[in-house]
Amino acid sequence: MSYGGPVPPDYGDPHAPGERAEEYLAPEIAGEASALPLWRRKPLLVVGAVILGIYIVVAVLGPLFVGDPRVTDPANFYQGPSWDNLFGTDKFGRDVFARAVHAARLDITIGILIAFFAMVIGSAIGVVSGYFGGWVDEIVMRLTDVVLAFPGFVLALVLVAAIGNSIPNVVIAVTVAYIPYFIRLTRAQVLAERELEYVDGAKLAGNGPWRVAFRHVLPNSLGPSFVQAALVAGWAILTVAGLAFLGVGIRPPTAEWGVMVAEGAPDIITGQWWTALFPGGMIVAAAMAFQFIGDDLGADVL
């Protein structure tokens, strides 16, 4: 019985007919019924994780093994892919592979950082907004409405243009564009969680309101945010690359996938397909990897 509040999920509810076996049976039996290995149950997650794993290895170790991405070798320009230059060379004779590997370090790191900061900041605001409600909640909601009214890419574009082109600024701008997602997501979960009995239990154990919100409610409200974070990491890479392609944010001669695609795009017409294709392909694969992970990451894995 709640007087006007949202209805909490009923944890003590046995036997809703027609549910899946795992939810129905005692844990000992449910384990049997869902005995399929992870790669069969969630193939996308595994594929995505493998690809991401490869990227991380490349990003961390790669730059130690490949050459300097800035070294130019004018005599060697526009060479196609060969054993010396796996991805060929660009118009300055730079090794495209080396550049792509260094760009991987940059882009993957940026993608993860943006997702991380957006999630941390967004969920903190979401918890405060959802748990304490009142005028704070009203203000936060209206602000997120405003931010979400702009397409993320456009917003990031405008912000970077305003604060200047640099890597930290790009991270800040794109993070700001994605924070509202996490605010909304966390807040929604918090609204449901705060009606549950363990919140009362926490109060009786002596937790003040801030501790209840951050120590108890927040950890239980982050589930959907982790999924969103995986997706946001992928989108962030696309956004950053897209901005760089337009010449905003990260600019040449920094080795960044979007920059490389921008530099290599005109080469396609003249037949040097490798300068744009490889970095472009890496963007796509990275974004897809994060997308797969986010799509298949469910409550049962977290």
Partner 1 sequence: MALLEVRGLHKVFGHGRSAVPAVRGVDLDIERGETLGLVGESGCGKTTLGRVVVGLQAPTEGEITFDGEVLDGKLSRPEYRKRVQMVFQHPAQSLNRRMRVNTTLSEPLRLLDVAAKDEIRGRVDQVLRLVGLGPDYLLRGPRQLSGGQQQRIAIARALMPDPDLVVLDEPTSSLDQSVRGRIIALLRSIQAERGVAYLFISHDLSTVRRIADRVAVMYLGRIVEVAPTERIFEDPQHPYTKALLSAVPSMDLDTRGTRIILEGETPSPSELPSGCSFQDRCPLVHERCRTEDPVLRPHGGDRMVECFAVTERAR
Partner 2 sequence: MSLLEVRDLTVGVERSPHTLLREVGFTVEPGEIVGLVGESGSGKTMASLAIMGLLPRGIELRAGSVTLDGRELVDPATGEIHRTANEMTMIFQHPRSALNPTMRAGRQIARVLELNQQMESREARDEAVGMLSRVGIPGAGRVARAYPHQLSGGMCQRVMIAMALACKPKVLIADEPTTALDVTIQAQIFDLINELVDETGTGVLFITHDLGAIAEMCDRVTVLYGGQVMERGTLRQVFTDPRHPYTTYLFDAVEREVDPRVEEKGVNFALQGCRFGHRCPYVHEACAEFPPLYPVGDGHVASCFLHGGTDGTS
**Between 138 and 200, CB nearer to partner 1:** 200
Give whichever of 221 and 275 is closer to partner 1, judged by the CB atom: 221
Q: Is 95 helix (H, G, I), strand (E, B) or coil?
A: strand
Calculate Rg over the CA atoms of the chain.
Answer: 24
Q: Which chain residues interact with partner 1 by CB under 8 A?
A: 1, 3-4, 8, 10-12, 196-198, 200-207, 211, 216, 219-220
Q: List the structure tokens of 132.
A: 């304490």
Q: Which amino acid is at 47?
A: V
Q: Is 300 in the site for partner 2 (CB under 8 A)?
A: no
Residue 35-74 contact track with partner 2, rule CB under 8 A, x = bound = x---------------------------------------
- Structure token digits, residue 23: 């939810």
What string of H, E and C letters represents the secondary structure of 18-78? CCCHHHHCCHHHHHHHCCCCHHHHCHHHHHHHHHHHHHHHHHHHHHHHCCCCCCCCHHHCC
For helices 274-296 and 96-132, the axis angle rounded to 10 degrees is 30
Query: Binding to partner 2 by residue 9, rule CB under 8 A?
Result: no
Quick one: 18 or 206, whose CB is closer to partner 2? 18
In the region spanning residues 161 to 220, those forming contacts with partner 2, defined by CB under 8 A, are none
Number of residues forming the site for partner 2 (CB under 8 A):
19
Of the pair 74, 134, the CB lying nearest partner 1 is at 134
Binding partner of residue 201 among partner 2, partner 1, none, CB cut-off 5 to 8 Å per kind: partner 1
